Amino acid sequence: MQDPHDAQARDPEPTAESPPPGPGEDPTPEAAPSTDAMDDGAEGPDTEQTEEAASDPLAAAVAERDDYLDQLMRARADYDNLNKRRHREVAEARDRGAAHLAGELLEVLDNFGFALKAAETSEDQQLAKGVQLVHSQLLDVLRRSGLQEVPGVGETFDPAHHEALMSETDDTDREHPEVGEVLRTGYLFKSTLLRPASVKVLE
């Protein structure tokens, strides 16, 4: 005969904590969300890369090197720009000084021209050659510094460079008035007008 105590031990009655499933219910309990999956979603790839770079001394050294190289290139560019500006300012100051000196010497050139004409009519040819030599030397020095003569006879009259002291009309059919005679030489210094040429205009 089967012992009723053994059957009761093998088939325990359901407890209140685990009620049997009702009609229409799924006997399989729902699985709780995994905390590991939530943690994996919270940490993105950027965080992993940042932590990897922070923990890699070689990557940190390369980044520091690139930063120093960028600063060096910027400093070199600033120095080059400053050096170019300094050279430009020095050249401009030198040109202004040379132009001022050339302007002061224009009257000296005029006087040499008068002396040369007087010496050419003199019987003393040695004197004429001496005056011509000194005049040519002075003019050559000023030309090497940037002095230029305003174009004269045969050139189209230009009010910006020529000063008309007299005019003359002839039978030549001209499209524009032109310089017929230079009464006083005009000069430029590197395209800057120092003095206009005094001319006679042919119309």
Token digits of residue 181: 């005679």
Least confident of 60-74, 77-91, 140-154, 167-181: 167-181
Angle (deg, nearest 10), helices 125-145 and 106-120:
160
- Strand 187-189 and strand 192-195: the pairing is antiparallel
Q: Measuring CA to CA, which residue among 179, 146, 147 is closest to residue 163?
A: 179
Token digits of residue 55: 């923990």
pLDDT in tens, 106-117: 888 888 888 888
Q: Which helix (H) or strand (E) holds 93?
A: helix 57-104
Token digits of residue 115: 């002396």
Indicate the residue type of 137. Answer: Q
Instruction: Work out the pLDDT band at 64, boundaries 50, 70, 90.
Output: confident
- The model carries a pTM of 0.57
Q: Which residues of 72-106 are buried (b: 16+ CB within 10 A; e: fewer)?
A: eeeeeeeeeeeeeeeeeeeeeeeeeebbeebeebb
pLDDT beyond 80 at 73: yes
pLDDT beyond 50 at 7: no
- In order of 35, 156, 177, the CA distances from 160 in angstroms are 91, 11, 14
pLDDT beyond 80 at 37: no
Cα separation, 88 vs 95, whole angstroms? 11
Residue 35 pLDDT: 47
Instruction: Work out the pLDDT band at 9, boundaries 50, 70, 90.
Output: very low
Give the residue ranges of DSSP H helices in 105-186. 106-120, 125-145
Residue 118 pLDDT: 82
Residue 172 pLDDT: 76
More confident residue, 161 or 2: 161
Indicate the residue type of 159. Answer: P
Q: Three-class SS of residue 156?
A: strand
Q: What's the whole-number mean pLDDT along residues 98-113?
A: 87
More confident residue, 184 or 117: 184
Residue 169 pLDDT: 85
Read off the DSSP letter of residue 34: P
pLDDT beyond 70 at 51: no
- E strand residue ranges, the chain: 147-149, 162-168, 178-184, 187-189, 192-195, 197-202
